[in-house]
Amino acid sequence: MAGFNPISAINDINRFRQIAAVLFRHGFGQLVDQIITADTPLAKIISKLRRDEKFTENEHSTLARRALLVLQELGPTFIKLGQILSTRPDLIPEEFIAEFKSLQDDVPSFSFEEARTQIENELGAPIEDIFYSFNKKQIATASIGQVYTAVIKEKDENGIEKLVDVVVKVQRPNIFQVIQQDIDLLYILARLAERQSPDLQLLNPVGIVSEFDKAIRRELDYNTELRNALKFAEGLKFHDQVIIPKVYKKYSGKKVFTMEKINGIKITEAEKIGCDKTVLAKIALNTILFMVFEKGFFHADPHPGNIFALKGNKIAFLDLGMVGHLDEEMRSKMAELLIALNTRDIDGIARGLINLGKPEKKVDFQEFKKDVYESMEKILGLPINEIQFSEILQDLMEGAKKNRIRIPNDYTLMGKAIMTIEGIGRILDPTLDLEKEAEPFVRKLVAKQWSFNKLSTDFYKRGTNLYNMTYDAPVQIMNIFEDIQNGNIKFKIEHPEEERFLKVWEQIIGKLSAGLVISALIISSTIFIIQTKESFTFRGLPLTLVLGIGGYTFAAVLGLAIIRNVKLSKK
């Protein structure tokens, strides 16, 4: 375990004070007040912060806008947090997403000497020995790293050496440590906020920080983007009009990523190089649909800056760090939902949404159907060029979340990707019809689900699972009985009115027991009387007769007592 670092502790305290000051300045003083009421050393430190920052309320300043200003002022980690959250409608409300989409990296560049050190440490050789040439001036700067152009020597398929233009992404020095420090502080603040504010618990701040932590760790490992690029290149190898930049493992690592330089322009400006915009619109849309429904992985952020138009009516996908995944079962459920959407089957849409997600409580199906109908009403009677099909899909998913149906993140990423690509397609070709373009992919997927090979494979899997379950069941049951016998398993039954509930059961059991005793007395007394003999007497009467009459008498008294108790309990 690492020892106490006083310098780090002082830095943490100063950073906390800075965060608190920014929150005060933008009208989140109440949130800080809730945090500092916690009985923790951190809260006591923050509570001593001088409240010099004054918040001037602006009637046009929404909560989401003020949150945006907080993220911008707090720097790279928080800007990146906002950028990632802007792609996660499953975590934050839509009004926050709309604001956070405008977040741009506004950070100072780092020197070429620092970039050189990163490259040489990562690739294990002097930069002059690695690259044929390297441009010392960066072409882009972001919160995570910088991008440079360079030239490498590579052999073609014929073994002939040639020069290749590449772009090189270099991670900002010490950015992991900087971001990790802020994430640690975010975890502490999120836990304090959840503990002190029931309202904030609904937003699940610790969950949001956890998702950010996982996303930023993936983004900080450039090997992730390299693997994604190789997977996309394999999946699209038969699509001649789609280019995935070639990546170079030899020139890449965790903090350095080298790929082929693509000479193109944003797809929305395709006419400048003589491309047919309507053709490119269909290529882009069909590529995303192909990856979603046939391959099960897709570009999760296909905005115009990440799709280049190339001469010859070709497109290239860039920045493959963020991807979504849908397994076969998830794709099948989505296909069923889209078919219901296509036929405007309200009942089928509602059931499809419930199947997509995981209800966190019992869903009022009739009420949910009404919500679905209200969403579908928006497109009734509209011409095709005015229907944003992906927007309806997103709207339906939002409705599902409002009904406490938790939709998996990859579905929301898919919805966002399709909505983005449909938006680009409509800019290029206003008549683009997503339903029409998606239908062949959906039908093909459904047909595959009901094919003989798929059904026989599923049958085999289910049969194997059933066999394994029946094979293991006896042993598992014996283990449960042994645990019960050894006291390792305890049962606890709770009831809202436990005391009254137990009292009623006590009365019922008591009356049943008395009834059994009365029955036994009557039966035994009858036997005694039937088998009366003179052998044993009591005051001149056969003993068995005396016992029989006594049993009848006691049974009668006990029966009358039970009847009396029943009448009293009813009163």
What 3-state class would DSSP assign to 560?
helix
Alpha carbon 484 to chain centroid distance? 37
Q: Is 319 annotated as catalytic?
A: no
Pairing status of strand 145-155 against strand 242-243? unpaired
What residues are paired with 475 via a beta bridge?
none
Give yes or no for a contact between 341 and 392, defined as CB atoms under 8 angstroms apart.
yes
- How many angstroms separate the Cα of 506 from the Cα of each of 495, 496, 509? 15, 17, 5
The one-character DSSP state at 3 is P
Give yes or no for a contact between 243 and 259, defined as CB atoms under 8 angstroms apart.
no
Take residue 16 and report the two structure tokens written for it.
Answer: 């906390």
What 3-state class would DSSP assign to 310?
strand
Q: Measuring CA to CA, which residue among 405, 414, 413, 417 is closest to residue 356?
A: 405
Which residue is catalytic, options 90, 182, 301, 395? 301
Q: Measuring CA to CA, which residue among 220, 217, 7, 208 is closest to residue 89?
A: 208
- Give me the helix-helix angle, 29-36 and 175-196, nearest 10°: 80
The one-character DSSP state at 270 is G
Place of tokens 């011409």: 383
C-alpha–C-alpha distance, residues 266 and 284, integer Å: 12
Q: What share of the chain is helix, strand, coil (3-state, %, to 5)?
A: 60, 10, 30
Take residue 552 and report the two structure tokens written for it.
Answer: 């009848």
Give yes or no for a contact between 258 and 150, defined as CB atoms under 8 angstroms apart.
yes
The one-character DSSP state at 254 is S
Write out the H or E segment, with its range, that includes residue 144.
none
Write out the H or E segment, with its range, that includes residue 298.
strand 297-299
Place of tokens 């020995």: 129
What 3-state class would DSSP assign to 158?
coil
Q: Which sequence positions are flagged as catalytic?
A: 301
